[in-house]
Structure formats: structure tokens, C-alpha cells
Amino acid sequence: MAKSRPGNLKRFYDVNGWLFVAPALLLVAAFMFYPIIRSLVLSFYSGRGMMMKFAGFSNIERLWYDAVFWQALTNTLTFLVIQVPVMIMLALILANALNNPKLRFAGLFRTAIFLPCVSSLVAYSILFKSMFATNGIVNSTVMAIGLADQPIEWFTDPFWAKVLVILAITWRWTGYNMIFYLAALQNIDRSIYEAARIDGVPAWRRFLHITIPMLKPVILFTTITSTIGTLQLFDEVYNLTEGKGGPANATLTLSLYIYNLTFRFMPNFGYAATVSYVIVLIVAILSFLQFYAARERK
């Protein structure tokens, strides 16, 4: 039997490899690439419902005069600037504490902190509505310990509504980030910490000068994913405010505004697509800045 030539064998494996991945590539193209291109084209059209026509850059011009858009953008950036750093730092502290080999019931604590991110969104929204109601357990506790003379209006006061959304996001996603840090911490040689401890380095300096620098790649990853998730914030606001983003648009986010433009108001697909690309642009800029700030300096 004649031996197969190396070139023919390589070609055979190449063809078969592409045939194996072709179904997945077709699905990705149909459900990812095509919608991206279609939405970009759609952003240059305007009109109500299916009565659309090419409008050039009119949707971009409309952004500058849309007060609701600027309110949604301000709210989204407020959540991003406040919530993401708090969540990242809290996740780091919890991971560092739970990485202690002498800690008893560490598995129970890790599971309890991680559970919120896999819990039902509807269930935890109902729980938060009950806890933060005017006569809920949170207001009762705050008044009992003397921090407030009257119940806090978590759902009707613009400031406290923002605080409630930040608390809800932090409660749900801190454990998710903590798991990444915990996995990375367990790959760090403990002899480094032992050497620092013997040299008299206090715990807070070990955390700042050993733990954080060695977790830099993981911190960058979680910061970018948390940034993207917060810029796309929709579920928590929709469920806590019943899809209104209230009170008075105080918690309206860009994603919820896109939803309202598409499904709640008179459908305006072109303008909704334009607003969605604002999120894309912000994500691209912030991701670049985060990569640039975390780059290795020679």
C-alpha cells in the first residue's frame, strides 16, 4: 500500500477540522455576528415600528438633546464608579480572609457568600422588596438602633433608590468575584507569606504588597467583566422598580432605556440601536484604559 504524503495528510486533517467546527461557526455567525452588523446598520435608520427609513446621523444628533438618555447615562456611570470598586475590594478582603487555612467552616462560609449569584433573580428581588419596604426588617433595625427617626423611603426617594440598587448588585456579585480571587490565592506559595511574617511584615502590608500584586491579572479580569456587567445593568433595576427605573428615572440605566425604547414605548428600533452602541463605545474605552493602566512597565 502506498504511503500517504505528508501534505495530503495535513490537508485531510485541515478539511476535517473545519468540518467539525463549521456548525458552531455557522451558529456564531447567525446569532452573534449578524445581529451585531444588523444593529449597526439599524442605528442609521429612524421611524416608528416597521415604518423606517434611512436617516444618516440623525439618531446620534438626537442623543445630544435627549434628557432621558443623559439621565440614564449618568445613573449607569454612577453605579459603575461606586459599585464596582466597592465590590472588587470587598471580594478581595473576603477571599483573603477565607483563604486562611486555620479558619473553621471555611467551606460553609464560601458557599454562603457565593450562593447569591446563583439564586433566582425574581426570588431575591422579592426578598429585597420585603426587606427594604417601609415597614420591613431593614427600616425596623435602623430605627431600633437609632440611626434614623423615621423609615427610609428606599423605593420612592431618588438617593436611597440608587443606594438600594448598589446594595443589590453588590450582594449578588461579590461572591462571584471572590471565587476567582480565592482560586488564585490558593496557587500562591505560602512560603512567601511565611517569609514576610517572619520578617515582621504586618498583615495589612502583606495584603497590599504581596496579595494584590500577585493577583493583578485576576483583578484586571474581574474589573473588566464587572465593568461590562454594570454598564449592561438591567435585571436588578427592572425587577426592583417594576421596569420603570423610578422614582423619576433615578435608577434608569442605559439597558433599561433601550428596552423601553424597543418594547414599552412606541417601538423605535433605530434609536434603540444607537443607544446600545453608546454602551459598546464606553466598554471599549474603559477596557482599553484598564488594560493600559495594568500593563507591565519595563
Read off the pLDDT of residues 97-156 as tens digits, 9 standing for 90 and up: 888 878 888 888 888 888 888 888 888 888 888 888 888 888 888 888 888 788 888 888
DSSP string, 86-115: HHHHHHHHHHHHHT-TT-TTHHHHHHHHHG
What are the φ and ψ backbone dihedral angles of 217, each rounded to 5 degrees? -60, -40
Q: How is residue 209 written as a grid cell?
A: 504588597
Query: How do residues 229-263 score in pLDDT, each as one tens digit?
Result: 999 898 888 888 887 787 888 899 999 999 988 88
Residue 115 corresponds to which cell in the numbers above?
450562593
pTM, full prediction:
0.84
* Rounded-to-10 torsion of CA 125, 93, 101, 190: 140
In order of 245, 268, 276, the CA distances from 280 in angstroms are: 21, 19, 7
pLDDT of residue 2: 47
- Residues 6 or more apart in contact with residue 162 via CB below 8 angstroms: 75, 78, 79, 250, 251
Q: Where are the beta strands (DSSP E) in 39-88?
A: 45-48, 51-54
CA 179 to chain centre: 15
- In whole angstroms, give the CA distance from residue 70 to residue 59: 14
What does the pLDDT look like over 275-294, one tens digit per residue? Answer: 999 998 998 888 888 877 77
Whether the Cβ atoms of residue 116 and residue 124 lie closer than 8 Å to each other: yes
Distance CA 51, CA 39 (A): 16
Band (pLDDT 50/70/90 cuts) for residue 50 is low
- Computed on alpha carbons and rounded to an integer, the radius of gyration of the chain in Å comes to 25
- 206-236 pLDDT per residue, tens: 888 888 888 888 998 899 889 989 998 988 8
Is the pLDDT confidence value at 6 over 70?
A: no
Please state, in angstroms and rounded to a whole number, the distance separating the CA atoms of residues 195 and 197. 5
| Average pLDDT over all residues of the chain | 85
All domains of the chain in start order, with CATH: 65-293 (1.10.3720.10)
Summarize the confidence of residues 200-208 as an average pLDDT.
83
pLDDT of residue 95 exceeding 70, the answer is yes
Looking at residues 12-26, what average pLDDT do you find?
Answer: 79
At residue 133, the pLDDT reads 87
- Is the pLDDT at 180 greater than 60, yes or no? yes
